[in-house]
Amino acid sequence: MRTVLIDDDPVVRDNLKTLLSIYAKECEVVGEADGIKTGLACLNEFEPDLLLLDVEMKDGTGFDLLALYGQLDFKVIFVTGHDTYAIRAFKYSAVDYLLKPVDPEDLLRALNKARSAITVEEQNVSVSNLVANKGKSEAEQKILLKDAETVYLIAVKEIIRCESETNYTRFFLEDGRKLMISKTLKEYEFLFEDQPFFRTHQSHLVNLSHFDRYEKRDGGLVHLKDGSTVPVAVRKKDALMQALEKMH
C-alpha cells in the first residue's frame, strides 16, 4: 500500500516509518508532511492508498485537512495523543486510530482493519460523521453501526435501548428497527457514558430519555415509551434512582 504520513512531530513520523518497515513491509512510505498545507500538497502529489494522520498539528487539525481535501480516495488511520473522551468520538464514527506512542500490536490491528473489506465509500461516511460530531452537542451526535450487510448512521437520541446477545448487541430504535451489531454491550456502555444511558441489568442498557415509569418490585421493571420493559437488577435500583433524579 502506498502510504503517506502526516504529523508535525518528526520523531513520530520516524517511529512510524520504522514500525512499518518491520511489521508491514507491504506499506511503502511514499511521502510525509508536517501540517495542513504541506499535507494537502503531499496527498495531491502521491495519491496514497493509506494515510496515517495526526489529529492536532501546529496549523490545524487532521479533520481540517480532510475537510479541505474533500472526497477521500484512500483509507485513513488517525494518530492521536488524545484522552478517553476523544477516543470515544473515534469509536462513535467507527474510524480507526492509534494512540501515541504507537504500539506495534495496535499498528498491526489498525492495518489489518485497513486491509479488510471496508470500502472507501464506507470510510467516507465514517470520517464525515467524525467531523460532524465534533461540532455538535451530545444530544445531536450520531453513531455509525455496521451489521454484516449494511452501514447505518443513527442519531444517538433515537436509540431506545440495547440488549446483549452473547458477543452481539441488539439495538432497538425509535422507528421500530432492530439492528444486530457484532460488539458487546460493555463496549456501548463505555461509548454512551456521557449520554443518558443506564445499564439496568447485565443484559440491558437503556436510554433514559425514553423512560416512562419505574415499577418497584424485586429489582423492578423500567417501562419505556415504546411500550417495552426491561428488568432492573436489585443492586442497580439505587443507582437508577440517582440517574433519574439527575435528569430532572
**Does 122 share its domain with 182?**
no
**Cell numbers linked to 47:** 495519491
- Same-domain check for residues 14 and 107: yes
Provide the pLDDT for residue 7: 97
CB hemisphere CA count around 248 (13 angstroms): 8
**What's residue 84's pLDDT?**
65
Query: CA separation (Å) from 123 to 1, 117, 146, 184, 231?
Result: 17, 11, 12, 22, 37
Q: Which of 134, 169, 198 is the last residue of a domain?
A: 134
Same domain flag for 34 and 115? yes
Same domain, 127 and 8: yes
pLDDT in tens, the chain (248 residues): 899 999 999 999 999 999 999 999 999 999 999 999 999 999 999 999 999 999 999 999 898 898 898 878 888 899 988 776 577 778 877 678 899 999 999 999 889 877 775 666 777 788 888 877 877 777 789 999 988 788 899 999 999 999 999 899 999 999 999 999 999 999 999 989 889 999 999 999 999 999 999 998 767 899 999 999 999 999 999 999 999 998 86
Residue type, 66: L
The answer to the question of residue 45 being in a domain is yes
Whether 177 and 74 map to the same domain: the answer is no
Query: Is residue 139 a part of any domain in this protein?
Result: no
Return the residue matching grid coordinates 417495552.
Answer: 228
> What is the per-residue pLDDT for 118?
63
- Is there a single domain that holds both residue 14 and residue 111? yes
Give the span between the Cα atoms of 31 and 29, in whole angstroms: 6
The Cα 144–Cα 152 span in angstroms is 6
- Asked if residue 240 and residue 168 are part of one domain, the reply reads yes
Helices (H) and strands (E) in the chain, counts: 8, 17
**What's the CA gap between 238 and 233, in Å, rounded?**
10
**Same domain for 20 and 74:** yes
Q: Tell whether 140 is covered by a domain.
A: no
Structural domain boundaries enclosing 61: 2-134
Q: What pTM was computed for the model?
A: 0.76
Are both 129 and 28 inside the same structural domain? yes
Q: Residue 226 is part of a domain; what is its CATH number?
A: 2.40.50.1020
| Domain count within the chain | 2
Q: Say yes or no: 17 and 111 in one domain.
A: yes
